[in-house]
A and B are shown apart, each in its own frame.
Chain A
């Protein structure tokens, strides 16, 4: 789906835990997520800390959208 969005002309970033799959299927901007059942969260943290974590990941994703890439790039 990520490739189709990009193909249609909209810049896209993929936040995913299983980065190798994202790479294999061809996403160009990839941000590693936390865990499969909670990509943008962590139930072991208390709420404020978790929200901060989530914010940080989305900020990284937005940063990825603002970064030129010439091929597949993982933004650690």
Chain B
């Protein structure tokens, strides 16, 4: 599959009479966006608020972050198979990206897992989304709504709004165009015969409420490992329905901008032959973990890979999936590099993972999520602070009188996401 990704650089967001882009500024119209989903009975009311890098703004509880994109040609729509979009194959042709902008869904917590994005201060250093121009969709759920319904309503609103905004990029001229291509396996292998054949094993969170991910609209709990072209991710084939623990979360934005895929393509044809992606899930049954890790190893072997990079979403029991994937792939003579984050306790003295295998001898760390920091008060809050102390990373006394928050960095969206999007890491002292 061959995909041209055209980036339209957005350097400011403002409210306007309608939704369009002019001279690098993205204008959005509040009513237009809200009308897209306000008829949904599950939602009582909503508003749109804007947050820009450097502003004294705290956005919380954050459910997902998405990037506005549009399929200009090649078949299908961005986010295939969800919110009424037809299920069509994506990953080919041309896609435009409103680069620098993001849609953030916000609202009272569904569970404990939503998190914070600070646009300035020390909290901003830990999240990639303090650097994006954020269009916040702030939702108030209907009275007495059941949690699964609320989660779905917020997720769908985010998808629909993001696609609508993405449309503004359809007829624009891209500022920068990059081409990504993955050929059929045999042809791809022959293209760079002297370079090691490397694949990417992407583990998707799939453990239930606020722990789900969707592939072409299919709940990832129900998949068995399968192959994907890297470009399918760029067209929103994989979307997030989870918050896991905020620091670990792979928001839809990061599935669309997968840093491992970006870095693998950087070296593609130069030092490696990037053969493709294997996706798998992280289910709550031991039998599923065994079945899927067997599947991952089998596919890696079928693709005749020499090495795979494996990323994990979440911590705790998915560490077992990670280790099973690693062990079985290595036992098939294929080399592995694991990417994950660590939870060795606030003092850093405990073991960082819940499971371990001796084959895991090459690991990249995205930092430890238990350290406690104090984030200064912000002038404006988009959303609400009332849930901070029950959110993961928060505790009794986290919310200070002056508005500052003392909590583990677990509470910050994508602070330690095991995709390696950040520079945070950990070492032994």
Give the residue name and chain of the A residue nearest to B288 (CB). A35
A20 within 8 A of B: yes
B319 within 8 A of A: yes
Partner of B355, one of A17, A21, A35, A37: A21
Q: A36-B207, A36-B317 are in contact. Are A17 and B356 (CB under 8 A)?
A: no
The reply on B272 being an interface residue by CB < 8 A is: no
Is A44 at the interface (CB under 8 A from chain B)?
no
B317 surroundings in chain A (CB, below 8 A):
17-18, 21, 36
Q: Is the interface of A mostly helix, strand, loop or mixed?
A: mixed
Whether the pair B284, A17 counts as a contact (CB closer than 8 A) is yes
State the B residues within 8 Å of A (CB): 207-208, 284-286, 289, 317, 319-320, 323-324, 354-356
Complex CA distance for A34 and B285, rounded to whole angstroms = 7
Q: How far is the CA of A37 from the CA of B286 in the complex (A)?
A: 12
A29-68 CB contact bits vs B (8 Å, 1 = yes)?
Answer: 0001011110000000000000000000000000000000
- Please tell me if A5 contacts chain B, counting CB pairs below 8 Å: no
Q: Is the CB of A24 within 8 A of B286?
A: no
**Assembly CA distance A37 to B284 (angstroms):** 7
Contacting residues, chain A, for B319 (C-beta < 8 A): 21
| B284:A36 contact, CB within 8 angstroms | yes
Residues of A within 8 A of B (CB-CB), count: 12
A37: B residues at CB distance < 8 A:
207-208, 284
Other-chain residue from B284, B289, B354 in contact with A24 (beta carbon distance below 8 A):
B354
Alpha-carbon distance between A52 and B374 when the two chains are bound, in angstroms: 50
Q: Indicate if A2 sits at the interface (CB-CB under 8 A).
A: no
**Whole-angstrom CA separation of A20 from B319 in the bound complex:** 10
B354 adjacent to A19 (CB under 8 Å):
no
Q: Once the chains are docked, how many angstroms separate the CA of A34 from the CA of B354?
A: 19
Please report the C-alpha to C-alpha distance between residue A34 and residue B324 in the assembled complex, in whole angstroms.
Answer: 19
Q: Is the CB of A35 within 8 A of B284?
A: yes
Chain A residues near B (Cβ < 8 Å): 17-21, 24-25, 32, 34-37
CB<8 Å pairs between A and B, sample of 24: A17-B284, A18-B286, A18-B354, A19-B286, A20-B286, A20-B289, A20-B320, A20-B324, A20-B355, A21-B319, A21-B354, A21-B355, A24-B354, A24-B356, A25-B354, A32-B286, A34-B285, A35-B284, A35-B285, A36-B285, A36-B317, A37-B207, A37-B208, A37-B284
**In the complex, what distance in Å separates the CA atom of A45 from the CA atom of B388?**
37
Q: Are A18 and B320 in contact (CB under 8 A)?
A: yes
Taking a contact as CB atoms under 8 Å apart, the answer to whether A24 and B355 are in contact is yes
Residue on A nearest B318 in the bound complex, by CB: A18
Collect the chain A residues with CB atoms within 8 Å of residue B207's CB.
36-37
Distance to closest chain A CB from B355 (angstroms): 5
Which A residues touch B286, using CB under 8 A?
A: 17-20, 32
User: Smallest CB-CB separation from A23: which chain B residue?
Assistant: B355
Residue of A nearest to B356 (CB): A24
What residues of chain A lie closer than 8 Å to B285, measured between beta carbons? 17, 34-36
> In the complex, which residues of chain A have a beta carbon less than 8 angstroms from the beta carbon of B354?
18, 21, 24-25
Q: Which residues of A contact B320 (CB under 8 A)?
A: 18, 20-21
A21 neighbours in B (Cβ, 8 Å): 317, 319-320, 354-355
Closest 10 CB pairs of A and B: A36-B284, A18-B317, A20-B320, A24-B355, A35-B284, A21-B354, A21-B355, A18-B320, A35-B285, A20-B355
